């Protein structure tokens, strides 16, 4: 592109030569009409810019200030100013300007703009005044936002819950936005509504600079001669091709739950893309929600506890999920022939599997309620109904299946589990009174008949919160082998900065295991004691290696279990 060198005017007055005052002007081609994809620009009849492509900009060029100029836009194949498709009179004072070529040549052939306050969408030049040469605050980046999408309504610019700029109509610009040089996710939303698109804004390398951001292209290309699609683009002061801001793809939010009752995998190591993320991940524990890239192959490997590297992975998986919130449940048994079969013809195979639960809610759908889904993860259990008292809350749930969400007031409930159409075989207390506004996952867990399943853990209902806290619902009554709360279990002191003691009453002589689990579900320490005698017991736990935060103490003794919170302070 040529510069406006020929436009500099020298006035000769006697023996003195004075240079006329100039305006500094950057021209941006942002007209998405395919018929003007490439243009020539004529000033006062002379071609000054040749083959200016859509979504490119000049550097800041000097043109005479306070002077009447005629700027003509012609197709890139033009031979003279006579080929111009539009001509505009321009007179600029001294100063710094951006002129945006925008719009469409024949508005009737394009989608109308729905905003009554929008500028006409016909091809035009839009001058932006008071353009900054540098940022107004040292270390910041100043961004001027121009709405150049002819078929888009008035929009807000949002970051998270904050509306940075509001109600920008087509053909208008907002006040400068000054941001510390950094990385941001910025959304474009119809005024007062949720974002229709989000973009990554990385201005870490632009500290001290000022630039123009343009909404560009068509929201609906099909209704606009298949023209270029909507996006956000940055025009740098140095000119050249506009920099496209990448569309932000929200990460996958994934919670992992270990609900596989096979004693062989009572604890496992989890690898993600070759890195060990969870060490000795115990049965009936869960992570908080982890972030993984969306629409990307992620290699997940499950290895037996105390594995040495990803080479020890026994169950390799590749997951590729769109943006959203999911729960992945590890369930089933490694060798189905060694366990009791499931007789429900609608049940999934009881072989070890990772089940993906989709459309997981981050919170309750109704204020004051608790939302929950139920996953049937008991390999030897038939199709079941979940009861609220004697009323059927969830009918006919087969092994390996998940229910629809239920939303109930935050209160205490008598939850029953019954073979479909029969009476309850187990009842549990579900005290949801302290979970107002939360969304949880409830899992049928363990074996109805441990004796026929390698003496694995007995049946229970496991509740998992979004932060990874997991606990068995206390049983009221059961006609199957019960998972019981370990009596009189307390942690003292709590909070602690060093040694805590877990006190409990041992119902009968058995092995005892005490684990400390962090918020991600990682088992940080485990003590295994053999043949602990019946009666009151105390086990010391050293928390000095742990950082300040919330942890979970898990105590298992035969068919008894306790899960308690533990706070560590430094």
Which domains are delineated in the chain? Answer: 1-248 (no CATH), 253-482 (no CATH), 486-570 (2.60.40.3080)
**Phi and psi torsions of 303, nearest 5°:** -125, 155
pLDDT of 564 reads: 77
CB count in 10 Å sphere of residue 421: 11
- DSSP character at residue 287: -
**Banded pLDDT at 477 (limits 50, 70, 90):** low
pLDDT at 273 over 80: yes
Average pLDDT in the 253-281 region?
A: 94
Residue 488, pLDDT score: 83
- Edge-to-edge strand list for the sheet holding 210-216: 177-180, 140-147, 210-216, 231-235, 243-244
Q: What is the pLDDT of residue 419?
A: 86
pLDDT higher than 70, residue 480? no
pLDDT at 520: 61
Of residues 484 and 504, which shows the higher confidence score?
504
What pLDDT score was predicted for residue 422? 78
Q: Give the residue-averaged pLDDT of 76-94.
A: 92
Average predicted confidence (pLDDT) for the chain: 89
Whether the CA torsion 399, 404, 405, 411 is positive or negative: it is negative
Q: Taking residues 62-84, what's their average pLDDT?
A: 92
Quote the pLDDT of residue 10. 28
pLDDT at 96: 95
Q: What angle do CA 487, 488, 490 make, to 5 degrees?
A: 130
Dist. CA 217–CA 224, nearest whole Å: 10
Q: Give pLDDT tens digits for 219-256.
A: 999 999 999 999 999 999 999 999 999 999 889 999 99
User: What residues does 212 pair with on adjacent strands?
Assistant: 144, 235
**Which pLDDT score is estimated for 73?**
93
| pLDDT over 90 at 524, yes or no | no
Check whether 6 has a pLDDT greater than 80.
no
E-assigned strands of 450-520? 460-464, 470-472, 475-478, 484-485, 490-492, 499-506, 510-517
Q: What angle do CA 518, 523, 529 make, to 5 degrees?
A: 125
Confidence of residue 125 (pLDDT cuts 50, 70, 90): very high
Nearest to 301 by CA among 259, 271, 276, 258: 271
Residues in Cβ contact with 93 at an 8 Å cutoff, skipping those fewer than 6 apart: 23, 65, 66
pLDDT in tens, 402-424: 999 999 999 989 898 988 877 77
What is the mean predicted confidence (pLDDT) over 500-512? Answer: 88
- What residue has token string 């060198």? 5
pTM assigned to the model? 0.65
Strand order, beta sheet including 439-445: 406-409, 369-376, 439-445, 460-464, 470-472
Per-residue pLDDT of 289-321, as tens digits, reads 999 999 999 999 999 988 999 999 999 999 999
Confidence at residue 484, expressed as pLDDT on a 0 to 100 scale: 63
Tell the residue number behind the tokens 């140095």, with chain if given: 238
Residue 282 backbone phi and psi in degrees, to 5: -90, 150
Tokens describing residue 243: 């920099």
Geometric angle at alpha carbon 297, from 293 and 300, rounded to 5°: 90
Helix, strand or coil, per DSSP, at residue 329 = strand
- Would you say residue 565 has pLDDT above 90? no
DSSP 5: G
Average pLDDT over residues 2-19: 35
Task: Examine the pLDDT at 570 and tell me if it is beyond 80.
Answer: no
Average pLDDT over residues 45-61: 94
Q: How confident is the model at residue 11 (pLDDT cuts 50, 70, 90)?
A: very low
> Is residue 17 predicted with pLDDT exceeding 80?
no
Residue 15 has pLDDT above 60, yes or no: no
Q: For the residues 103-124, what does the mean pLDDT come to?
A: 97
Q: Is the peptide bond before 493 cis (omega within 30 degrees of 0)?
A: yes
Q: Tokens 């290699």 correspond to what residue?
A: 299
pLDDT at position 548? 80
Assign 1 a pLDDT band (cuts: 50, 70, 90). very low
Predicted local distance difference test score (pLDDT) of residue 461: 93
Cα–Cα distance list, 244 to 150, 197, 247, 394, 509 (Å): 18, 14, 9, 49, 68
Inter-residue contact 127 to 98 (CB < 8 Å): yes
- Residue 371 in tokens: 């939302």
521 confidence band (pLDDT: 50, 70, 90):
low
Torsion of CA 180, 183, 184, 185, to 10 degrees: 170
Least confident of 19-23, 294-298, 382-386: 19-23
Q: CA 427 to CA 171: how far, in whole Å?
A: 65
SS3 state at 284: coil
Q: Distances from the Cα of 112 to the Cαs of 96, 121, 152, 375, 555, in angstroms? A: 32, 8, 9, 49, 66
Q: Residue 460 pLDDT > 70, yes or no?
A: yes
Report which of 272, 254, 261 is spatially closest to residue 316, judged by C-alpha positions.
Answer: 272
- Residue 339 reports pLDDT greater than 70: yes
């Amino acid at each position: 592109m040529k510069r406006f060198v020929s436009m500099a005017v020298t006035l000769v007055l006697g023996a003195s030569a004075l240079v006329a005052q100039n305006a500094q002007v950057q021209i941006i081609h942002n007209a998405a009409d395919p018929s003007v994809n490439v243009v020539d620009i004529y000033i006062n009849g002379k071609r000054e810019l040749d083959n200016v492509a859509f979504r490119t900009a000049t550097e800041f060029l000097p043109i005479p200030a306070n002077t009447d100029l005629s700027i003509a836009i012609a197709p890139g194949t033009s031979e003279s100013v006579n080929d111009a498709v539009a001509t505009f009179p321009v007179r600029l004072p001294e100063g710094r300007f951006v002129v945006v070529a925008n719009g469409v040549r024949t508005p009737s052939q394009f989608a109308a703009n729905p905003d009554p306050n929008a500028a006409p969408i016909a091809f035009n030049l839009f001058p932006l005044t008071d353009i900054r040469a540098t940022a107004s605050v040292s270390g910041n980046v100043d961004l001027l936002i121009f709405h150049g999408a002819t078929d888009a309504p008035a929009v807000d610019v949002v970051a998270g819950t904050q509306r940075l700029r509001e109600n920008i109509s087509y053909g208008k610009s907002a006040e400068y936005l000054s941001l510390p040089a950094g990385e941001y996710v910025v959304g474009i939303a119809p005024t007062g509504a949720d974002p229709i698109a989000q973009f990554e804004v990385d201005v870490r390398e632009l500290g001290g600079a000022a630039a123009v951001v343009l909404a560009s292209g068509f929201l609906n290309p099909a209704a606009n001669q298949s023209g270029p699609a909507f996006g956000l683009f940055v025009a740098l002061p140095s000119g050249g091709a506009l920099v496209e801001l990448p569309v932000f793809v929200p990460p996958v939010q994934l919670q992992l739950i270990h609900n596989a009752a096979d004693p062989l995998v009572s604890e496992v190591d989890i690898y993600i893309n070759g890195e060990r993320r969870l060490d000795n991940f115990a049965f009936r524990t869960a992570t908080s929600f982890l972030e993984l890239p969306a629409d990307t192959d992620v290699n997940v490997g499950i290895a037996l506890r105390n594995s040495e590297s990803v080479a020890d992975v026994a169950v390799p998986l590749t997951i590729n999920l769109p943006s959203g919130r999911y729960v992945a449940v590890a369930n089933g048994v490694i060798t189905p022939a060694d366990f009791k079969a499931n007789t429900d013809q609608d049940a999934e195979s009881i072989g070890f599997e990772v089940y993906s639960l989709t459309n997981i809610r981050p919170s309750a759908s109704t204020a004051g309620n608790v939302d929950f889904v139920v996953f049937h993860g008991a390999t030897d259990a038939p199709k079941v109904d979940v009861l609220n008292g004697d009323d059927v809350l969830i009918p006919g749930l087969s092994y390996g299946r998940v229910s629809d969400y239920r939303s109930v007031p935050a209160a205490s409930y008598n939850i029953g589990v019954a073979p479909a159409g029969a009476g309850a075989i187990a009842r549990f207390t579900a005290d949801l009174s302290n979970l107002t506004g939360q969304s949880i996952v409830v899992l049928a867990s363990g074996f109805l008949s441990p004796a026929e399943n390698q003496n694995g853990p007995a049946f229970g209902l496991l509740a998992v919160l979004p932060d990874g806290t997991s606990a068995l619902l206390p049983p009221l009554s059961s006609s199957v082998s019960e998972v019981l709360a370990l009596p009189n279990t307390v942690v003292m002191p709590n909070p602690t900065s060093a040694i805590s003691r877990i006190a409990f009453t041992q119902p009968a002589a058995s092995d005892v295991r005490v684990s400390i689990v962090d918020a991600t579900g990682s088992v940080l320490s485990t003590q295994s004691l053999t043949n602990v005698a019946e009666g009151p017991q105390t086990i010391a736990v050293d928390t000095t290696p742990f950082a300040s935060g919330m942890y979970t103490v898990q105590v298992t003794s035969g068919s008894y279990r306790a899960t308690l919170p533990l706070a560590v302070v430094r």
